[in-house]
Structure 1
């Protein structure tokens, strides 16, 4: 059998460093195929510096809106303004990000566990710096359409565009393939009408830069206990409270620490961006409800496409998927206006039926996230 042809990402990595033996990868990840390597002349340096080269994986479903034209351009513009972000260099025509050596926060403290105080203070520091980056002071090329750029302060317009993206690019765009599965779970287009009604009436707040994906795997802790923030692809300009809501939803802090962080966030953002936390007591819950609702549409598709929920020896995994989706649907029942939530067995059965129906069309087992 002939040797497998290297992927474009690996070819670029080898071409950049000149030595295939020092290329590490592909690293674990869904959206990109990533390789890490030193640049020529840096392999023996006293302080090891490695860079990463990555390419989008083929055939992916993208469930989040992209705002900036280039993550590397954004990181360049944020250099000196945001602490603990990867540096960027250009070598051989490639724009490379520095690979942050360390362990992810998720590897150190799993979801649901508290975050050590020194690291939590650095999270608050990150929010402080984000609040200081305003639409007027960030000059970076953007890819989003004009309608996805509401004026600063228009928090309702900002959230409406996110709801539209979920409805049009996640639900409707995949309705032909997943419509029956959504219907079996009690979710239809009425859910979006209910969601819009539920989250309406937000307070105006001045906009700033948002990372928009601050979860435990996007924080890296180095050997000096410094917190680095990676994966800025979903960054956008918008309602600062949305960044806090997304962070709380994804981090799954213990309740007491979530309250502590929220209090620190409020005082910190107000110092830097007066009015940035206005109305938070009312609006934070609504924004988190949007995240719960968004999760229904993305996680149903992911569960259906996951090889672990397929026919054969994965019945226990199918049952776990049913349990997980039951919890997600229950969490979103109010904002989506769901009359009832199917039990885990019924959800597992719906997933199994969907997979049997699509077993021969090339959909099942696709490398989607």
Structure 2
């Protein structure tokens, strides 16, 4: 049965594709399921720690609105989850728009639930992983991946980076800040909580795509969430208020500067990573899709330019010029 589902999914043209996985909903006698197949050609642009199925097994007793794992195959590589029938949040509330009020509560509820998972119930950690509460080590680990991505692509993208105002050493401006991060207990983090990973069904929010889950600083969870959600100011303030009120004090300790540091890192990372990602999508995009990608990249790089102390004056014309070699053919 499972292999047949995989073969149907692999042949299906009806897939919801993220960056690392394709998702295909298929009927079975026991109900609809989601077949999740890794995209083999995806470049690693994020810190990857655990296998997603191990994360789902770990969190299931603690977090209620997450996919139920039905099957895992190593060869060929795929998972089967129960199908969550609802609306993807991004489909009716895109970045920058207000979300339904219950989503704010649901997000903080999930973050609080994840703090309850004991270390011994989480999957194993590699030897190089920062020790308990080592915020500076955790921050540098995130930054190391961003630096590796930049160094991998700077040869091919040097002129594009120059035209976009991405510095030769994009992390120099924030690198000294890692040493001052507050020590907070580490917890399980989703580390990718954004609108395309949330499904709203019957007034409740379900949280998908746990392949980037980490063991780390809970301040990073809310920082990357704010970066990727792009809430209106009042909703961001409400999430932060609830987060500080509902989580135990040791998980939210420290100055707002810690939150800003994590968010600044994500802005820089997004400028570098999405320049590469979007350039690879442009050749197969329609003119309307190219315009959409260009406008998104304008916003992302202007956000990073503020961190670098540069005027946020990047225009769609400059982005299109920088990425022209990819969509016009090299």
Aligned residue number for residue 27 of structure 2: 38
Is 1:116 the counterpart of 2:100? The answer is: yes
CA distance in 1, matches of 2:238, 2:291: 36
Report 1:343-358 matches (<5 A): 343-353=315-325, 355-356=327-328
Q: What displacement does 1:177 show? A: 2.2
Question: Is 1:160 aligned to residue 140 of structure 2?
Answer: yes
Choose from 279, 286, 292 the match for 1:304: 279
Give the whole-Å Cα distance in 2 for the aligned partners of 1:91 and 1:249: 32
- Match for residue 331 of structure 1? 303
Q: 1:321 to 1:281 in 2, by over 3 A?
A: same
* Correspondence for 1:76: 57
Distance 1:182 1:13, change over 3 A: farther
> 2:231 and 2:17 mapped to 1: Cα distance?
24
Question: In structure 2, how many angstroms separate the alpha carbons of the residues matched to 1:321 and 1:89?
Answer: 35
Alignment length (residue pairs)? 325
TM-score computed with the length of structure 1 as normaliser: 0.78
By how many angstroms is 1:267 displaced?
A: 1.3
The gaps in structure 2 that reach 5 residues or longer are none
Stretch moving more, 86-95 or 323-332: 86-95
- Match of 1:100? 84
Pairing 1:140–2:123 present = yes
Query: How far apart are residue 36 of structure 1 and its match?
Result: 2.4
TM-score scaled to structure 2, two decimals?
A: 0.87
Q: What is the DSSP-based 3-state SS (H/G/I as helix, E as strand, rest coil) of the residue aligned with 1:191? A: coil
Structure 1 alignment gaps of length 5 or more: 1-11, 43-48, 361-369
Report deviation, 1:261.
0.8
Residue in structure 2 matching 1:208, options 187, 195, 199: 187
Kindly indicate whether the alpha-carbon contact (under 8 Å) linking 2:37 and 2:79 is maintained by their aligned counterparts in 1: no
Once the two structures are TM-superposed, the CA of residue 240 in structure 1 deviates from its matched residue by 0.2
Q: 1:240 to 1:193 in 2, by over 3 A?
A: same
For the residues of structure 1 that align with 2:291 and 2:89, how far apart are their CA atoms? 28
**What is the CA-CA distance between 1:75 and the residue it aligns to?**
0.8
Equivalent residue number for residue 366 of structure 1: none
Rounded Cα–Cα distance in structure 2 between residues aligned with 1:35 and 1:13: 13
Residues 280 and 34 of structure 1: CA distance in aligned 2, closer, same or farther (over 3 Å): same
Structure index of larger Rg: 1
Could you say what the CA RMSD is over the residues aligned between the two structures, in angstroms? 2.9
Q: Report whether the alignment pairs 1:239 with 2:227.
A: no
Tell me how far apart the structure 2 counterparts of residues 319 and 36 of structure 1 sit (CA, whole Å): 30
Structure 2: distance between partners of 1:111 and 1:157: 31
CA distance 1:336–1:17, shift in 2 (3 Å)? closer
Comparing 50-59 and 153-162, the one that deviates more: 50-59
Quote the offset at 1:54 in angstroms: 2.6
**How many angstroms does 1:324 deviate by?**
3.6
